[in-house]
């Protein structure tokens, strides 16, 4: 079992774009959810798929189990999805020796741009890039499961 330890932020401006070094096209959906757990399928660049089981709800530290899945099986599982499909482009951005993931959402979630940083320690405000806005770690409405089930939350900068 792995621990997912992350902080989530709304992104302000496009300053991150010049530092983006890679990108992945992600399509994901959920097969089941509970108050503190979810089962997700993610398809990366149309060629790799994973099944992820998370425990812990909208918290900074969660238990996570992840398994490779045949892409064909993942495509077929989409018929059993609950909620909406979450489509996003994930950009990889190095800042201060840390890898930030900046997600640009598409479809019904278009306009939402969020950044995540996985780290054992909390990234202090002075170590965050200028394009990182309000922290939304722990705000359930900004987690992918909630986005799939409920759509965009009311965004307050």
Instruction: Report the catalytic residues.
Output: 30
Which tokens is 138 given? 């722990």
């Amino acid at each position: 079992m792995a621990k997912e330890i992350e902080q989530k932020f709304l992104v302000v401006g496009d300053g991150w774009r010049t530092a983006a070094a890679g990108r992945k096209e992600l399509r994901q959906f959920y097969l089941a959810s509970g108050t503190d757990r979810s089962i997700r399928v993610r398809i990366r660049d149309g060629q790799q798929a994973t099944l992820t089981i998370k425990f812990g709800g909208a918290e900074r530290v969660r238990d996570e189990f992840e398994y490779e899945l045949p892409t064909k099986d993942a495509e077929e599982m989409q018929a059993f999805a609950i909620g909406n499909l979450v489509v996003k482009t994930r950009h990889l951005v190095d800042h201060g020796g840390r890898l930030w993931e900046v997600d640009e959402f598409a479809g019904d979630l278009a306009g939402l741009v969020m950044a995540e940083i996985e780290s054992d320690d909390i990234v202090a405000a002075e170590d965050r890039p200028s394009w990182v806005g309000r922290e939304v770690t722990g705000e359930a409405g900004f987690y992918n499961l909630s986005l799939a089930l409920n759509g965009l939350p009311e965004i307050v900068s």
